[in-house]
Chains A and B, each alone.
Chain A
Amino acid sequence: MKKNNRLLKDRIAEQLMAIMTISSLLLVVAMAVGLYLKSVPILQEHSLWDLLTEGEWRPMADKFGFFPFLMGTLYVSLLALGIAIPISLLMAIYLTEYAHSVVKRYVFPFLDILAGLPSVIYGVWGMLVIVPWVSDVVAPSLRHDSSGYTVLATGVVLGVTVIPLLVSLFIEIFSNVGREIREAAWSLGATRWQTTKDVILRQTAPGVIAAVVLAASRTLGETIAVIMVCGNLAIVPSSLLDACYPIPALIANNYGEMLSLPLYESALMFAAFILFFVVLGFNLFSRLVLRKMENK
């Protein structure tokens, strides 16, 4: 009897844990369905094409053009990646190909700190350091007048937030390359840099691209840090010194008033749905590529 009891417990636990695992997985599906259902009303009123390409945003007058927000998101993400990729790549190459393990011991805690700092702190830093830098140093040197709350400031702040993610992914990818491959290149007389450029980077190219896509998805969803430095103007930015208004900022700034108008709420949920959809796609792609690299 006692034994049966124990086996029964084991079975019940198995079922319970299976339910927990599967229901936590269904969260992805639930999110997709939930956000989609909420965006149906706006999609019935306006065509998807119009929503994505119209430039006018006046919810009270039934104008829901997402184009400025999409462009804002695109510009700041590209700029952030343009800043973060070279820095992270060089840093990761140094740490895997050149550095002593002692150096890693001292550098890693710094990366931990950078990775752990909350978004709002990056925003505070942006307001204290980067925004004044843009308005007092960069803009005057280009004979431009700027408040500092610009695409440039947002891109710099976002770029710094994704550096730790990129560095740790790159390090993982480079460390997967066998030592004998490096030694083969060295024995042919290649310098370390030649080995890195012609052997390591060539072999890990898919992984590097996957890591960049993952970092891109991270920049798309960053919210509070972005709101604090982007200027929040619904325009299509035409230069680095223009204000911008990325999608997450749009959602977070207007959640309070959106309930006043059913279509407004639907529009913001549609924005969240786009964000979810793009991030999901990016993540799926890069995780599958990274996994394939790992198993090789």
Chain B
Amino acid sequence: MKRAIVIEKIWKALMYASIALVLFFVVSVIWSVFRRGLPVLSWEMVSSLPGGGFYIGKEGGFLNAIVGSIYIVGGATVLGLLVSIPVVFYLNVYLKPHPKLGVVARLAYDILFGIPSIVYGAFGFTIMIFFGLRTSLLGGIIVVTLLIIPIFIRSMDEVAKTIPQDILEAGYSLGSTRLETITVVVRQIAPAIATATLLGIGRAIGDAAGVMFTAGFSDSIPTSLTQQTASLPLSVFFQLSAPQLEVQDRAYAAAVVLTAIVLILSLSGRFIMNRFSRNKI
């Protein structure tokens, strides 16, 4: 009996150690990025475009990457929601009486969620070549849209599944068609739409492998959908591989901006979830 208690204690200590280790990783990642990047971050960097000789350490900033990321993520989020809200509605209202296709569909979205973004990028690239498109803002938006649709659908569907059939039937009994219950459904899953959107934006803004193939990189802000565009993760990645310290400094500064954006997104996602779904932990 004594032995069992000692073993219990040892394992419990290991559990504490593993939690401490994970907390250490979180703190270490954020602290190391901020400590290196924050001192070199300046207003000029986030508010100006790369000047001449930018990549050998001359003046300029990475506004092109910030705006490029906003364009890509904004476009992809809007397109992604336009596709995924109807799909979630279809799965949970029209398909409710015939769940077979729903099972297959959910499995497929789970799998799409697991496909790495580099594969999306390579696939997007072949499609673009097939249609004769060059790397462009449009290409980036399309690939990122494909990447975040499964995230949107899975996290909205998780909540939409729990809508009681009674609510829909109450609507039908008042004479509404299935389509007209969409207002009720959307209202029911509104917090889930918000959380999914934040999650999707977080994933989209951090994606580098997908946009590398399809959006390219550019020192200016794109003025049309067919121009190449920069993005924050790629700006970090490319500048870090430069030998000059000044260029690397800017990469770390861009990393701080990216980390801050993602932190805000993930914490507010958690906040919305806690605020609106109390029965969950």
Size bracket of the B interface: 35 or more
Is there an interface contact between A10 and B123, defined as CB atoms closer than 8 Å?
A: no
Is there an interface contact between B22 and A120, defined as CB atoms closer than 8 Å?
A: no
CA distance A7 to B175 in the complex (A): 11
Q: Does A143 contact B (CB under 8 A)?
A: no
Is there an interface contact between A118 and B258, defined as CB atoms closer than 8 Å?
A: yes
CB distance from A254 to the nearest CB of B (A): 11
Is there an interface contact between B259 and A35, defined as CB atoms closer than 8 Å?
A: no
Is there an interface contact between A221 and B116, defined as CB atoms closer than 8 Å?
A: yes
Residue of A nearest to B125 (CB): A255
Residue of A nearest to B17 (CB): A90
CA distance A17 to B262 in the complex (A): 32
Is there an interface contact between A17 and B127, defined as CB atoms closer than 8 Å?
A: no
CA distance A167 to B123 in the complex (A): 31
Q: Which of B109, B208, B209, B212 has the most CB of A within 10 A?
A: B209
CA distance A282 to B180 in the complex (A): 40
Chain A residues with CB under 8 A of B4: 191, 193-194
Could you tell me how many residues of chain A have their Cβ less than 8 Å away from some Cβ of chain B?
Answer: 87
Which of B25-33, B161-169, B219-227 lies at the binding interface?
Answer: B25-33
CB distance from B20 to the nearest CB of A (A): 10
CB distance from A216 to the nearest CB of B (A): 11
Which of B46-54, B88-96, B186-194 lies at the binding interface?
Answer: B88-96
Is there an interface contact between A191 and B116, defined as CB atoms closer than 8 Å?
A: no
Is there an interface contact between B87 and A24, defined as CB atoms closer than 8 Å?
A: yes
Q: Does B277 contact A (CB under 8 A)?
A: no
Q: Does A236 contact B (CB under 8 A)?
A: no
Query: Which applies to chain B's interface (DSSP): helix, strand, loop or mixed?
Result: helix
Q: Does B58 contact A (CB under 8 A)?
A: no
Q: Which residue from B11, B105, B251, B259 sits with its C-beta under 8 Å from A193? A: B11
Is there an interface contact between A287 and B111, defined as CB atoms closer than 8 Å?
A: yes
Q: Which of A35, A114, A121, A279 has the most CB of B within 10 A?
A: A121
Is there an interface contact between A279 and B123, defined as CB atoms closer than 8 Å?
A: no
Query: Which applies to chain A's interface (DSSP): helix, strand, loop or mixed?
Result: helix
Is there an interface contact between B122 and A272, defined as CB atoms closer than 8 Å?
A: yes
CB distance from A237 to the nearest CB of B (A): 21
Q: Does A137 contact B (CB under 8 A)?
A: no
CA distance A215 to B178 in the complex (A): 39
Q: Which residue from B12, B16, B105, B270 sits with its C-beta under 8 Å from A112? A: B270
Interface residues of B (CB under 8 A from A): 4-5, 7-8, 11-12, 14-19, 21-23, 25-26, 28-30, 32-33, 36, 83, 86-87, 89-91, 94, 101, 104-105, 107-112, 114-119, 121-123, 125-127, 146, 149, 153, 177-180, 199, 202-203, 205-209, 212-213, 233, 236-237, 240, 251-252, 255, 258-259, 262-263, 265-267, 269-270, 281
**Interchain residue pairs A-B with the least CB separation, the first 4:** A221-B116, A118-B206, A116-B266, A17-B90
Other than the known A87-B18, A128-B32, A221-B116, what 5 A-B pairs have Cβ atoms closer than 8 Å? Answer: A10-B179, A125-B33, A223-B209, A227-B237, A284-B107
